[in-house]
């Protein structure tokens, strides 16, 4: 084994680093998705304890659905990137990120409007 192979300086080492970075990105997607699901459950439960669970239930379920969507999209992004890295034809895609950001902003904006209209 040459020093270049051992240090990750060859193409095999570069590809390995790219796959490991792709796995870390998948873990970040998973962490985000699980956090959204957990936050959705907290919003739903706290809303049910404070008063009628109407709006808080809807926001909680919407956050949980966004979390599930995040997990699915993160997995698709991971598999697409993995295939691209292996074939040497990697092209980054921003669609998955935009869906999660747009969904989060829509939920946050709706929640802010709801709180302002129904606040004491």
**Is 1 part of any domain?**
no
**Is 2 part of any domain?**
no
Euclidean distance between CA atoms 79 and 85, whole angstroms: 10
**Domain limits for position 87:** 10-118
Euclidean distance between CA atoms 26 and 73, whole angstroms: 10
Euclidean distance between CA atoms 85 and 80, whole angstroms: 9
Average of per-residue pLDDT across 74-94? 87
Residue 47 near residue 58 (C-beta atoms within 8 A) = no
**Is 36 part of any domain?**
yes
**Is 103 part of any domain?**
yes
Residue 82 has pLDDT above 70, yes or no: yes
**Is 5 part of any domain?**
no
Number of domains in the chain: 1
The residues near 66 (Cβ < 8 Å, ≥ 6 apart) are: 36, 40, 100, 103, 104, 107
Residue 71 near residue 93 (C-beta atoms within 8 A) = no
**Is 87 part of any domain?**
yes
**Is 75 part of any domain?**
yes
**Is 28 part of any domain?**
yes
Task: For residue 23, name the pLDDT band (cuts at 50, 70, 90).
Answer: very high
């Amino acid at each position: 084994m040459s020093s270049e192979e051992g240090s990750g300086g060859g193409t095999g080492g570069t590809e390995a680093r790219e796959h490991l970075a792709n796995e870390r990105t998948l873990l970040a997607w998973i962490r985000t998705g699980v956090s959204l699901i957990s936050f959705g459950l907290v919003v739903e439960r706290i809303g049910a304890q404070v008063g009628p669970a109407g709006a808080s239930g809807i926001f909680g379920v919407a956050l949980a659905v966004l979390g599930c969507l995040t997990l699915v999209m993160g997995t698709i992004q991971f598999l697409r990137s993995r295939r691209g890295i292996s074939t040497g034809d990697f092209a980054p895609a921003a669609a998955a990120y935009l869906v999660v950001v747009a969904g989060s902003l829509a939920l946050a904006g709706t929640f802010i409007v709801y709180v302002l209209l129904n606040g004491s």
